[in-house]
Amino acid sequence: MSTVRTITAENFRETVEAGGIVILDFWAPWCGPCRGFAPTFERAAGANPEVVSGKINTDDEQELAAAFDISSIPTLMIFRDKVLLFRQEGALPPAALDDVVAQAKALDMEKVRAEISAHEEAEKAAKAPRA
């Protein structure tokens, strides 16, 4: 039984906003590298049942692909607690996918949020008019 969900424009937001780790594979049925990566993605999904794994068919979900500026497939994205942590164009070998998932699991999200906040504040300060 597949543990991979089909992600569409209708269920994307609720999937990512539910929290936890979400791995998304942007793909198309005509794409050879996408078909080659599919077993690796399926295996990782089966090995990590606590992670939400989803596939987005870019032919069917063109607006969603455009919203994420997908220009090459497969493209893999990993979200954790609504934060985009990783984006990679091209298929990953199994060991690399396992490593990225392990890194996402190991992150201290409070630290990540603090770093994002500090970066946003620095950008705001840089854009502020000077007296």
Give CA separation, 113 vs 10, 88, 101, in Å: 27, 21, 19
Exactly one of 31, 52, 65, 77 is catalytic; name it. 31
- Alpha carbon distance 71, 3 (integer Å): 26
Q: Is 115 a catalytic residue?
A: no
Q: Per the residue annotation, which of 7, 16, 24, 34 is the catalytic one?
A: 34
16 is catalytic: no
Burial of 54 (0-12, 13-18, 19+ CB in 10 A): buried
- The enclosing H or E element of 6 equals strand 4-6
CB-CB contact of 20 with 48 (8 Å): no
- Residues constituting the chain: 131
Interatomic CA distance for residues 8 and 70, integer angstroms: 15
Annotated catalytic sites, by residue?
31, 34
